[in-house]
């Protein structure tokens, strides 16, 4: 989707694509859940999706179901979506609002919005039973720029350290105050890593996205984050924005400098978030692996609140990227089919694919860790 051209002096010659097993081996897929998706910060949505007390969303991550809600003190909390009685899934809805409590549908164990067990029918007959011993299992959660992140690890993770490389870069966009104008879901028959890798280069753009290449030349990108969990950079535009007609699809967001009004920034945030910063909107993808060769992608388009009271048309951006997204998913599926072949062997990365090599290096460092 994007282009990040790396100059020859910083590009490491000899980098090659990952071996076939990383896209086809179910044992490695399970390792990815155990070492990556169960221990990394995962973007699960926007905090304005749960504005009211008791409002919630749920998210399935592998075998885990996660319940994310807003409590009585207006704080966002996350819990494992299972009852402490016999492990029953508490909530099957993907979103909604609890009144004042959360009740398991099996035997009526009831929890308050802080996750404390408040009611357990007939358990007073059990000696030494104490409701305070059986709260919902909590999950670490952070609200960052209006995005909800969770970490399933039982060990505390330093969120600020993880995001330190990008924290100072985003202040101009005022991400916290943006509203979601559109969300689309896609099911793609490819490994999740192919989606991230495709996003991180525009070597393919002249062939797959000729209209995008007309707006941002595929060799025109510059990287500013080149190692670690967050990778990316910017491209200069020769039109006002990346839309169907090349014009702004909404008012400028945040407090952008004149320089950034002519740029689009693309960042992959390991492992599942793709953040695209345009002058008039933000597009964000979250990537969720369902199988070794299948993933679900959620795409949201965020605009200024003033867009609803303006003459702008957000669909000019949404329609452009929906078409571009589907072009990407199609070629990723075709790539998966080729990698499945017995004849596949790792091939050399071009100098325009340096971020893919950086992604592979970080991915392998996590997968090979103890």
pLDDT tens digits, 18-28: 999 999 999 99
H-run or E-run covering 151: strand 147-151
Rounded CA separation 356/21 (Å): 17
Give the model's pLDDT for residue 8: 35
H-run or E-run covering 164: helix 164-167
Q: How many CB atoms sit inside 10 A of residue 132's CB?
A: 7
- Domains of the chain with CATH codes: 21-36+174-367 (3.90.380.10), 42-156 (2.102.10.10)
Give the model's pLDDT for residue 12: 53
pLDDT tens-place string over residues 164-187: 999 888 999 999 999 999 999 999
pLDDT tens-place string over residues 65-75: 999 999 999 99
Give pTM, 2 decimals. 0.94
Buried b (16+ CB within 10 A) or exposed e, 327-356: bbbebbeebbeebeeeeeeeeebebbbbbb
| Mean pLDDT per 10-residue segment, the chain (370 residues) | 39 80 98 96 96 97 96 97 98 95 98 98 95 98 97 89 91 95 98 98 94 90 93 96 97 96 97 98 98 98 93 97 98 98 96 95 92
Give the model's pLDDT for residue 184: 98
């Amino acid at each position: 989707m994007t282009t990040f051209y790396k100059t020859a002096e910083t590009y490491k010659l000899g980098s090659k694509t990952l071996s076939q097993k990383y896209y086809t081996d179910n044992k490695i897929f399970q390792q990815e859940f155990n070492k990556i998706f169960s221990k990394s910060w995962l973007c699960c949505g926007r905090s304005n999706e749960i504005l009211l007390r008791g409002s919630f969303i749920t998210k399935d991550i592998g075998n885990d179901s996660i319940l994310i809600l807003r409590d009585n003190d207006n704080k966002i909390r996350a819990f494992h979506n299972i009852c402490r009685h016999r492990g029953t899934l508490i909530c099957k809805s993907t979103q909604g609002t609890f009144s004042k409590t959360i009740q398991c549908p099996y035997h009526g164990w009831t929890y308050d919005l802080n996750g404390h067990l408040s009611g357990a029918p007939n358990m007073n007959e059990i000696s030494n039973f104490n409701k305070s011993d059986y709260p919902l299992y909590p999950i670490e959660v952070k609200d960052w720029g209006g995005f909800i992140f969770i970490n399933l690890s039982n060990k505390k993770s330093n969120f600020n350290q993880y995001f330190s490389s990008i924290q100072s870069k985003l202040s101009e966009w005022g991400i916290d105050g943006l509203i979601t104008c559109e969300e689309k879901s896609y099911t793609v028959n490819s490994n999740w890593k192919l989606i991230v890798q495709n996003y991180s280069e525009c070597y393919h753009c002249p062939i797959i996205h000729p209209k995008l290449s007309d707006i941002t030349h595929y060799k025109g990108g510059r990287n500013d984050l080149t190692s670690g969990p967050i990778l990316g950079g910017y491209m200069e535009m020769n039109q006002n924005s990346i839309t169907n007609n090349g014009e702004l699809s909404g008012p400028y967001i945040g407090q952008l400098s004149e320089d950034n009004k002519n740029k689009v920034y693309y960042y992959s945030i390991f492992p599942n978030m793709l953040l695209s910063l345009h002058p008039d909107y933000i597009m964000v993808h979250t990537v969720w692996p369902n199988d070794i060769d299948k993933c679900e992608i959620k795409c949201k388009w965020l605009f200024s609140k003033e867009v609803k009271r303006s003459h702008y048309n957000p669909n000019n951006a949404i329609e452009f990227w929906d078409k571009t997204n589907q072009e990407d998913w199609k070629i990723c599926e075709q790539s998966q089919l080729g990698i499945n072949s017995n004849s596949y062997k790792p091939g050399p990365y071009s100098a325009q694919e340096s971020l893919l090599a950086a992604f592979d290096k970080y991915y392998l460092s996590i997968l090979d860790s103890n």
